[in-house]
Amino acid sequence: MFNHEDREKVRELFARFCHSIDEGRYDEWVGTFTPDGVFDSPVAGRHAGREGLLKFTQDLAASDMGKVKQRHLVTNLSMSLEEDRGTALCNLTVYVTREGITSLLLVGGYNARLRKIDGEWYFLNVTPFVDTKVPHPLARH
């Protein structure tokens, strides 16, 4: 059955996922996942469970990427939801700004598996894919 409320909750989940990582609200980003959730990136590696996801964000904050402004833009979100499970696919564009200069970092997307717990949707698994072959993310153009 088509459920507008669930679809809107999943859209909000993706928005919180992007805004929280971009703004350095890492506990909130980790909270978009189920307790056993997995972020499995071809660029950043596989990070599982709350501890693994939090360690990923701590490493990100301490890296060169933690010193630039990032903007994750999700578009063309398509989802399939059934009861308490679902999948989603979207496009992803990421920009970085350093010293007031903005450049494209990557183009790709997210494949996600979703789970509904107590009426709220969470990521069970997020697997980014990257179409762009890029130089070092902080390289000046």
pTM for this structure? 0.91
Kindly state the tokens that stand for 42: 């071809």
Residue 140 pLDDT > 80, yes or no? no
Q: How many CA atoms lie within 13 A of 40 on its CB side?
A: 11
State pLDDT tens for residues 87-98.
999 999 999 999
Kindly state the tokens that stand for 92: 């992803």
Contact 92, 111 (CB under 8 A): no
Strand-pairing partners, residue 28, are none
Kindly state the tokens that stand for 10: 């999943």
Cα angle 36-50-69, degrees, rounded to a multiple of 5: 125
Kindly state the tokens that stand for 70: 């990032």
According to the model, what pLDDT value does residue 64 have?
82
Distance CA 138, CA 88 (A): 30
Over the range 97-117, which residues count as b (16 or more CB within 10 Å of their CB) and which as e?
Answer: eeeeeeeebbebbbebbbbbe
State pLDDT tens for residues 22-78.
999 999 999 999 999 999 998 888 999 999 999 999 998 988 887 889 999 999 999
State pLDDT tens for residues 102-139.
999 999 999 999 999 999 999 999 999 999 875 544 43
Question: What domains, with CATH codes, occur in the chain?
Answer: 4-130 (3.10.450.50)
